[in-house]
Structure 1
Amino acid sequence: MHETRTAAWSAEQLEDRLRALAAARYHDRHPFNRRMHEGELSREELRRWVANRFYYQCNIPVKDAHILAKLPLPAQRRSWLRRIQDHDGRTEGDGGLERWLHLGEAVGLDREELLSHEHLLPGVRLAVDGYVNFCRNGTVLEAVASSLTELCAPSIMLTRLETFPRHYPWIDAAGLSYFRSRVPQGRRDGGEALAWVKEWAATREQQQCALAALSFKCDVLWSLLDVVALRSAPR
């Protein structure tokens, strides 16, 4: 008997599934983020989140370097390199990491506290390192598909730009520049990665791999908040 293979979805059907998965699983639905956006976090909880999320921020260019090394075409590598430059900056004192340090200072953390990761929780390290290893060891399709949480990033950044000044007026507005910069970056990067995944995932098996990779990335972001929220809960 001949093996029957399940037909691939169309590119549009795959996009619909990817967008639906991201919307349903993205960490904007996490109770900790909901509390954040509703103004229910204490100063201590916000500082704990900023300090722990900084470890994730530091590893974004690391995972992007692993993805960069997998891309087969010069044009693709040139384009992905821009993501590393967005976070690391093109010059000293520029880029997303520097803007996150400004956020840390705005919520009352010392820059050296952030850079030393002295407040890093073990579960956050485990989740973030797991994501870096996923991008290091996975296929280029899986690694790029895992970045598709970018499709939801502009929305959560806009929510923070709206709610932080209202609920946390003690935070210097200049410290919110990271959220502002991520709105256009997320739209650009999410659209680019989505186009590549739709092109590369030609079989149902490849399409399922792309969905699984995006699901894994959602788990990473959710797990990070689980750890921070658990530490913040009354004992």
Structure 2
Amino acid sequence: MTTAPVRSTPRAVHPAAPDDGPLPPALFEAELRKLARSRYHDTHPFNVRMHRGELSPNELRTWVANRFHYQRSIPVKDALILAKLPEPAMRRSWLRRIQDHDGLADGEGGIERWLRLGEAVGLDRAELESGRSVLPGVRFAVDGYVNFCRLSPALEAVASSLTELCAPSIMMTRLETFPVHYPWIEESGLSYFRSRVPQGRRDGAEALTWVTDWARTRDDQLRALSALAFKCDVLWALLDGVEQGSRPGGA
């Protein structure tokens, strides 16, 4: 079994500013970006094997089915965050994220595109929507993230979304590698990855602006860093569950 690298907590790798005062916004932004890059799940062994073309069809199907539990939870957690936002303009802007995933009508949106990915890898849509194949570890990680967004203040809930800063890169990697390594997947099934490149750039930039503006003290900044680290761990734990569950006898 591959052992995941040990990753330090934000407080261990990001010492307080002199006199415990807040870092200037530019330096705080650099901290957030560094944390996201260092802990993002693109370096998880399962993702590394995926992008090298080393996954079996069964492993890919297990990933798509379990990741769908995360995908369908995104608009739920975003609705919980939206309710915490203090200004109408912020709520209108955040609402766009829910619409991106749920669509403005049936047959539209990111959830629908993920279902089409499921069909493209050979999964039955009704079975995928039933959630019966979701592994316990994946369910625990994703539901824990939804509860984090339900219970946390707006600063930490929004900061946890900053994995969006890294999302465009991993989506582009999949767009480049899937047609080469998994040509049996129809090109139309990759539309989710394509749509998330501009959405991720837009959403990551917006959330970053809000978090750097809201975090007025060093304690605020550390809480934002911890929230981002938690989200990175959620994505990492999801892949731990998929990696274990896709092995023969592992589920």
TM-score (norm 2): 0.91
Q: Which amino acid aligns with 1:44?
A: N
TM superposition shift of 1:39: 0.1
* 2-structure distance, mates of 1:117, 1:173: 25
- Please tell me whether residue 32 in structure 1 is matched to residue 50 in structure 2: no
Match of 1:42 in 2: 56
Query: What fraction of aligned residue pairs are identical, expressed as a percent?
Result: 71
Q: Which amino acid aligns with 1:224?
A: L
Gaps of 5+ in 2: 1-17
- Candidates 120, 125, 129, aligned match of 2:134: 120
TM superposition shift of 1:232: 2.2
Superposition pairs of residues 25-174 of structure 1, within 5 angstroms: 25-174=39-188
* 2-structure distance, mates of 1:39, 1:63: 32
Q: Secondary structure at the match of 1:70?
A: coil
* 2-structure distance, mates of 1:99, 1:81: 19
Question: C-alpha deviations, 1:8-57, integer Å up to 9, x for none?
Answer: 10000110000000000000000000000000000000000000000000
* 2-structure distance, mates of 1:30, 1:174: 26
TM superposition shift of 1:233: 3.2
Q: RMSD value over aligned CA atoms?
A: 1.0
* 1-structure distance, mates of 2:173, 2:245: 24
Match of 1:191 in 2: 205
Q: Secondary structure at the match of 1:104?
A: helix
- Please tell me whether residue 12 in structure 1 is matched to residue 26 in structure 2: yes
* 2-structure distance, mates of 1:57, 1:231: 19
Match of 2:238 in 1: 224
* 2-structure distance, mates of 1:159, 1:122: 28
* 2-structure distance, mates of 1:48, 1:234: 12
**Count of residue pairs the alignment pairs up:** 232
- Candidates 172, 179, 190, aligned match of 1:176: 190
